[in-house]
Each structure stands twice: as C-alpha cells, then as structure tokens.
Amino acid sequence: MRVYPTFFKLAFSWMDAEKAHKIGFQAIRAAHRSGAGRILARITAPDASLRTEALGLTFPSPFGLAAGFDKEGHGIEALAELGFGHVEVGTITGQAQPGNEKPRLFRLIDDRAVINRMGFNNDGAAAVAPRLKSAKAALQRKHADVRPVIGVNIGKTKVVELDEATEDYLVSARSLAPAADYLVVNVSSPNTPGLRLLQNVETLRPLLRAVGDAADEAAGRHVPLLVKIAPDLSNEDIDDVARLALDLKLDGIIATNTTITREGLVTDAAKVEALGAGGLSGAPLKQRSLEVLRRLKEAVGDQLVLIAVGGVESAQDVQDRLDAGATLVQGYTAFLYEGPFWASRINKGLVKIQKRGSRSV
C-alpha cells in the first residue's frame, strides 16, 4: 500500500500548485542537506542491469527527470538520490527572468495532468552555471563507477526578439556547456511568445548549428546536442525535424514537450477553459507522445538517440517507450502525484518487466 497519494490529497491537493511544488522541492533538498539523502540513495539506487549507454555516456537507469522540475540547478544531487538516472535542469535562458504572472501552474487531478504557463522563470545562465559545476563534481566524488547524468535545457529569453534568438541561446550555451553532460535546445514551449516558430526547419537549422559549435568550443569537447519538439507538430513537420537532425548530425531528439490541446479530458471543460492558456502535461499526453516517438523512430532508425517524455507514469509506460524505440525516458508530472519514491518504483518495476521478458524468450 502506498501512502503518498493519501498524503498528497490531504496536504497538497487543496494548495496552490506552485506553492506545493516549492514546499515539496524544499523537503527533498532538506533531506539531502541533513544527510538522509545518502541513506535514501542506498535504497533507491537503480539496479546495475538498468545501465544504459547513450550519447557517449553511461546512465545508471534509462529513466530520468524531465526539465521543468529543477529549473535552476538547486537540487541536482538531491534528485539524483531519489533514483533518477539523469536530471535535466532548466529551462534556462540567457538572461534572468521572473516568468509569467501568477497563478501559472494548475493541477487537473482527475486527469493526472498539469497545465503550466510558467514562462521559463529562472536565474539566468550565468547564475546557474556554477551550480551545475558544483553538482557535477559532487556526483563524481560520490559515484566512483557510474554517476547520474546532468542534462541542461536552454530556451529563449522572453524580451529577446525572434531575430536575435540565436545569440541569446549562445549566451546560455557558452555558460552552461562546460558543466553539462548533454545540452537540449528547447524551441517547443508554448509559454514564450513566438518560440514555437523556431521549430520551422529554415529557422532551426542555423540555430542548432550555432549552438552546437558554441557549446563544443566552450567545453573543449563534444557536448551531445538534442532538440526538444512539441507534440502539436504535424507529421510532416516531425519528418522535417528528423531529416534536419540527421543532416546536422545532432545527437538526439526529445519528444515531446507539453501540448496546447485540451482534448479528451475528464475535468469539466468550463473549468479547464477558466484556467487559461498554457501547456498541458501528464497522462492525457501519453498516446500522442508515443505516436510522435514511433514516427521519429521510423524516420531516424538507430542514427539518433530518442528521449521519450509525455504521460509517463509507470514502469510499463517506460518499457513501452523503450520498446517503441526510445533509448531514454523522462517523466515529470506524475512525480507530483506519486511522490519521492516514484523513480525508485519505476526502476524496480523495469527490472521485473525485463526479467519476465528474458524468461519468456
């Protein structure tokens, strides 16, 4: 019997979602600072059988935490102690910005979903960079064998015009690449005006090429580069992005970000409409994100690493995405509903699924 769902209902379900997130994240970080995280890490450490080779790196588990939870690199070590094979930090912008006006995060509990219009609130690349460096060094000290991987997700500063977006991304790339295990260009959030226009391949090509060159130069090594796309792209646009990624020799694609659609929700339509604009994440995104993954796999084969995200709640969801062609899988929204032992349960569930599969062969 799991206690957290009851605890969530009593302690968090009635509370402003952003406030609840802040309290929960502070508790995770407090456990790390107190030393309890070291004990937790022994319990939650992924089984060695889950180690996954991707992007020239070894991941302790194929399952990691998507960007959005730790926007500024404050809790990388603490989150790694919960069993995530990687933690993707961000989205980080070239300049610090407060994000959109509150309230800007809303739960749809009956749908196990979230609507957010956070707007890339973060301290800016220059402030986040030393946190990444410190966390990476700490993880290397604690994990002599295979350490959790740090991904960094970068986006456009809101006040920067679209025609100046490339230089804005370069500010982040140059600051953050030296401490990043991999870098993600986010052009798919619906909460920065005009950002999704950058998914057009004519615009995306020079942006990705420039970011990749700047990241490698700043780090003095090749930093694996991925692009994160929206689930709302047409199939033809997905194919175009896949061809572009192959042409530019990117390392991978993350599919998918949040959706602007509101189809198939259990929550009353009038209530959903009253919450306003924003990206929808969680269980309702499960089917479309899987469809996009399969289409990408068909287009790129084994030439790129595909990271699946969207509607992932269980070990079976993770395995379904691995079976559909993903090398790595991420989650976020279900973390809010399932609690701090979610990643550990998924890792243990993956081991059981894979053992059953090996016995049936």
332 SS3 class: coil
The CA distance from 265 to 328, in Å, is 27
Going by C-alpha positions, the residue among 311, 278, 289 that lies closest to residue 106 is 278
Residue 315 is encoded by which pair of tokens? 């070990």
Active-site entry in 188, 189, 281, 344: 189
Count Cα atoms within 13 angstroms, Cβ side, for 173: 29
Going by C-alpha positions, the residue among 338, 321, 339 that lies closest to residue 329 is 321
Going by C-alpha positions, the residue among 278, 339, 349 that lies closest to residue 317 is 349
65 SS3 class: strand
CA torsion 178-139-343-287 (nearest 10°) is 10
Residue with token string 């990691």: 64
**First-to-last C-alpha distance (Å) of the chain:** 32
Beta bridge partners of 185: 154, 227
188 catalytically annotated: no
Residue with token string 């980080």: 92
Supply the residues annotated as catalytic. 189
